[in-house]
Amino acid sequence: MYMNKKIVTVTLNPCVDLTLTVDKFLYGGTNNVVGTRKDISGKGINTSVVLKNLGIENIATGLMFLEDKDILRDFLEKNKIPNKFILAPGNMRTNIKIFDNSQKSMSEFNGKGCYVDTETQNAFLAMMEEVLAETKILIVSGSVPPGISIEIYKWLTAMAVEKGIRVIADASGQILEETVESKPFLIKPNTDELEKTFHMPSSTEEEIVQAANKIIKKGVKYVCVSRGEKGAVLVTEKKIYTADGVAVKVKGIQGAGDSMIAGFCYAMEHAMEEKDYLKYAVAAATGSLLHEGTKLCEKEDILEVADLVQVNEKSNEGGIK
């Protein structure tokens, strides 16, 4: 069924991430920058890069803005990622990230992006009808620019599911809430996104599982919730898998969630056991913490960290009977 078909990522709001590193961030004061990085980014693009680093062929799709289209094209070509983008007027948004060395924390200032009209949106959806013919897993992730419908991931998911394609959704707020209605294969919120999107507490493992079970009853097969340094929880209708975070020297935290999705796909591509989906997801997320800015993990990072990830498994007593 999936012979010669590929994983496809969607990035509708690509960006340039400018990461400034300071020893200790002083709010309202003068901060001396000790490190600067500028990276082409966007959640789907990040996942495409990590998949490529893992040796998994994939296609990056989305919107490419006219004023800096060559910058994004050059980046994708340099990383040898096949791509199919629709051109839109305007330029990529810029996100400012301030990494505090003392706290190992990131303060983010994210741009909204340029307005995209309905004609461009429809052209993208028409293109995706063709792309889905060569897709086995569709990854929809990140924000959408002004003008794009908040239902677009819902529509894409419905289009894909109808063709038997597994969909992984990594978004938040109303966009994710809408997408769940089309029954994606996996969603990957963090605890904050889980709580704000579905209006359910998610501070403890028990609360996370309760919230995940309600989502699974809507037709989602896997709910993977990232918990930062506490690790992650993967919930299915029958099982609960948990993994603690791995202690590493953190140099940056951008792209960890996007890498997590790539790790999940790596385990699926290699027909691993279900619990290993979480193992390699956590390993990939942790691997990205080893790099500054939005520089993403390499295969060696993931395989090395994977040996340190311990996954616990138990029955999901509150799941679907």
Residue 152 within a domain:
yes
For residue 144, being part of any structural domain is answered with: yes
Q: How many CB atoms lie within 10 A of CB 36?
A: 11
Asked about 258 being catalytic, the answer comes back as: yes
Q: What is the mean pLDDT of residues 253-282?
A: 92
> At residue 222, what are phi and psi to the nearest 5 degrees?
-125, 135
Q: Predicted confidence band at 1 (pLDDT cuts at 50, 70, 90)?
A: very low
Q: What is the pLDDT of residue 229?
A: 82
Domain contains 1: no
Residue 158: pLDDT band (50, 70, 90) is very high
Domain hosting residue 110, numbered range: 6-26+33-315
Contact 293, 37 (CB under 8 A): yes
Nearest to 144 by CA among 304, 11, 1: 11
- With respect to residue 321, please indicate whether it lies within any of the assigned structural domains: no
**Is pLDDT at 275 greater than 80 in this prediction?**
yes
In the numeric block, the tokens 């500028």 are attached to 38
279, part of any domain: yes
**Based on the structure, what is the number of domains in the chain?**
1
The residue annotated as part of the active site, out of 17, 39, 170, 258, is: 258
Whole-model pTM: value is 0.92
User: In a 3-state reduction of DSSP, which class is residue 292?
Assistant: coil
Q: Return all residues near 208 (Cβ < 8 A) that are at least 6 apart.
A: 191, 194, 202, 225, 227, 233, 235
List, for residues 42-92, the tens digit of each pLDDT value: 999 999 999 999 999 999 999 999 999 999 999 999 999 999 999 999 999
User: CATH code at 61?
Assistant: 3.40.1190.20
Average pLDDT over residues 261-286: 95
Report the percent of the chain where pLDDT is more than 70. 95
Per DSSP, the residues of 223-278 read EEEE-GGG-EEEE-SSEEEEEPPPP---S--TTHHHHHHHHHHHHHHTT--HHHHH
The predicted-structure confidence for 77-86, as pLDDT tens digits, reads as follows 999 999 999 9
pLDDT at 236: 97
Lowest mean pLDDT segment, chosen from 41-45, 94-98, 266-270, 283-287: 283-287
Q: Once rounded to an integer, what is the mean pLDDT over residues 203-218?
A: 96
Under the banding of pLDDT at 50, 70 and 90, the label for residue 190 is very high
pLDDT in tens, 108-156: 999 999 999 999 999 999 999 999 999 999 999 999 999 999 999 999 9
The pLDDT tens digits for 211-253 are 999 999 999 999 999 998 888 999 999 999 999 887 777 766 6
- Collapse the DSSP code of 297 into the 3-class scheme (helix H, G, I; strand E, B; otherwise coil) and give the result: coil
68 in a domain, yes or no?
yes
Asked if residue 274 has pLDDT above 70, the reply is yes
What SS3 state is found at 52? Answer: helix
Q: Let me know how long the chain is.
A: 321
160 within some domain: yes
Residue pair 200/194 in contact (Cβ under 8 Å)? The answer is yes
- Whether residue 320 lies inside any domain: the answer is no
Report pLDDT for 290.
72
